Structure 1
Amino acid sequence: MTKTLLVTGAAGFIGPFFIAHAIKKGYRIIIVDLKEPVYAKKSGRVIFIPCDLSNPRDLKKLEKINSPLNLVHMGAFVPHVPSQEEMFIKKIFAVNLKGTMDLLDVLGDRIEKAYYVSTLEVYGLPRYLPIDEKHPANPVSFYGISKLYAEKYLSLFCQAKNIPYAILRLSCIYGPGEEYARAIPNFIKTALSNQAIKIYGNGQDKRDYLYVDDAAGALLNSVENDIRGICNIVSGRSYKIIDVAKRIVKLSRSKSKITFLPRKKKLYDLIFDASRIKQLLKFKPETSIEEGLEREISWCRKMS
């Protein structure tokens, strides 16, 4: 198996953690992203190629790569504020779908194996719990639709060229570097300023949270263990939103009160069956929710 990884989106939230694991395992890494990560300059095993996935001219730079590689495609455009995603519909599909199509077309037969990092958003509202890999995919967001279509295209592309592939659907990933528009960093930022934490609904809805470094380790283990097909990268543990908020208040020693606001959308739980990831990777999250939240709180303090 080739020890060269071409990783898109490595400058994002999960990327630095994934690259750190890959470097420890001795991989040669080609990073394809808009900006060069700081860590890339410090490692002799990392090559950086500046590239906008939505720009076909940029992607032509990859034609110079003449060695076989394993593709880890985590590059995507995610709207910072989900409620505003309609403003970015064209960009969502230009990067996530068209960018994926063009990337695969440029790399072609140089891909030995392909690993597509997807999202739980492809499932949409759960029809049954816990959600497993056989659960129908019926996304309710433009981002989820773009990722599902990209999954379908990559599957057909790889089947046509006889390239082994895996689709790795990520849970609710949290940790240092997470965008403030998400629940956990928003709660932390509010708690650190001792302001009221606002929860839409009653806070009883559950989410599967997985610490970012554990998720990155699972992604690399998927490459190492030659996973095929769809696999949910999940913790298998779900927590009520209200309980997460209370933990954050306690761990940050905040004086914040928790308030509840009317919720327009229907409440639902995201509880996942972790049987497949446990079977294939012997996966068990190493970071408890308390430890992970403490690390993110510490990071947010430094950034504030």
Structure 2
Amino acid sequence: MKVLVTGGAGFIGSHIVDALLDSHYEVVVVDNLVTGHIKNIHPSVRFYQLDVRRDLDDLFGKEKPDYVIHQAGQVSVSQSLIDPLYDCEENIIGTLSILQACVRHHVKKMVFASTAAIYGNPVYLPVDEGHPLHPISFYGLTKWHAEKCIQLFSEAHQLDYTILRYANVYGPRQDARGEAGAIAIFIEKVIKGERPVLFGDGKQTRDFVYVKDVARANVAALTNGNQEILNVGTGQESSLEEVIGQLGEISGKNIQPILSPERAGDIRSSVLNNERLQLKLNRFPFYSLKDGLVETVKFYEQEFLTGLRG
């Protein structure tokens, strides 16, 4: 079976590619390399440097994928507020382009990367899939619209789908310069002997889910969870203060973060209910926060040493 992964050179997409190869799928990657990196592309996959907003009929006609995992998109909340038109083009127009190609070329199923940002400020915790949707950024809004486009295509053309709403994903290959990479930013600071910055009192909570678990969920969704919307999170709340403490234990350093004023618009607490995910995708254990951090720290330490040698 052949799977086309859009955004397969990116942080999450490249881990999905690895998980697919481990499960013996044939993989094709499409990425425009705006945020993805050539070094993330596995040497055994066929790679096309293309923008998903363009006509993809030639590519789909040539490769004839059985499944599509659609990871490509604009993922920065702050950037979406600065340039909502670009956000709309990447997350809505890009998704429509993929959907049309899927229908024309008889793709069996699309798995879509959505986000917990569509929920906005939680009304209750943990947030389940029935929680009211009230996005407070154009990023969350465009992902919500993309979800509705997928559902309409499914009704009109019998295209199967699974929509996965990600919590706060972290792990190796995450860009420490990106807004969404809080853990990557913390680790980079610690490795360089610098003090990480905490906005607010550090007691804000998030559901930090390890990227390999997200990748496994995507692979499982190819053959499970048909026409479902599923939260991808651990169901565990962790504070930023706790993350800093665990990084201190792992690195053996006494980390004293710099406290800065809380940023306007930041959500105070967030955690996703993952019971439906476990039911529909066949229950599997998640990495603990500590185990995921250990692997992530090792990756960035190696990257830092490689950079010094280079």
Per the normalisation by structure 2, the TM-score is 0.88
- Tell me what 2:130 maps to: 134
- Tell me what 1:69 maps to: 66
- Tell me what 1:214 maps to: 213
Alignment partner of 1:100 is 2:95: yes
CA distance in 2, matches of 1:41, 1:131: 35
Deviation string 1:258-290 (CA, Å, 9 cap, x unpaired) is 232221436521122121112122333342211
CA distance in 1, matches of 2:188, 2:251: 10
Alignment partner of 1:174 is 2:170: yes
Q: CA deviation at 1:24?
A: 2.2
Deviation string 1:118-162 (CA, Å, 9 cap, x unpaired) is 111111111111100111111111111111111111110121001
Helix, strand or coil: the match of 1:133? coil
CA distance in 1, matches of 2:218, 2:60: 26
- Tell me what 1:119 maps to: 115
Tell me which amino acid in the other structure corresponds to 1:95.
Answer: E
Aligned positions of 1:10-159 closer than 5 A: 10-35=8-33, 37-38=38-39, 42-43=43-44, 46-54=45-53, 56-57=54-55, 59-65=56-62, 67=64, 69-79=66-76, 82-109=77-104, 110-159=106-155
- Tell me what 1:247 maps to: 246
- Tell me what 1:229 maps to: 228
- Tell me what 1:297 maps to: 297
Asked if the contact 1:60/1:106 (under 8 Å) is kept, the reply is yes
Indicate how the Cα distance of structure 1 residues 287 and 264 shifts in structure 2: closer, same or farther if over 3 A, else same.
closer
Which stretch shows the higher mean deviation, 65-74 or 5-14? Answer: 65-74
Asked if the contact 1:17/1:212 (under 8 Å) is kept, the reply is yes
Q: CA deviation at 1:103?
A: 1.9
Q: CA deviation at 1:52?
A: 0.6
Percent identical among aligned pairs is 29
Q: CA deviation at 1:244?
A: 0.6
Helix, strand or coil: the match of 2:9? coil
Asked if the contact 1:218/1:283 (under 8 Å) is kept, the reply is no
Q: CA deviation at 1:184?
A: 0.7
Q: CA deviation at 1:84?
A: 4.2
**Aligned positions, number:** 296
Tell me which amino acid in the other structure corresponds to 1:31.
Answer: V
Asked if the contact 2:3/2:67 (under 8 Å) is kept, the reply is yes
Deviation string 1:2-56 (CA, Å, 9 cap, x unpaired) is x12121111111122211221122212221112484575632xx332221123x2
Asked if the contact 2:3/2:27 (under 8 Å) is kept, the reply is yes
Helix, strand or coil: the match of 2:122? coil
CA distance in 2, matches of 1:89, 1:267: 20
Asked if the contact 2:167/2:207 (under 8 Å) is kept, the reply is yes
Helix, strand or coil: the match of 1:111? coil
Unmatched 5+ stretches in structure 1: none
- Tell me what 2:307 maps to: none
CA distance in 2, matches of 1:69, 1:98: 22
- Tell me what 1:6 maps to: 4
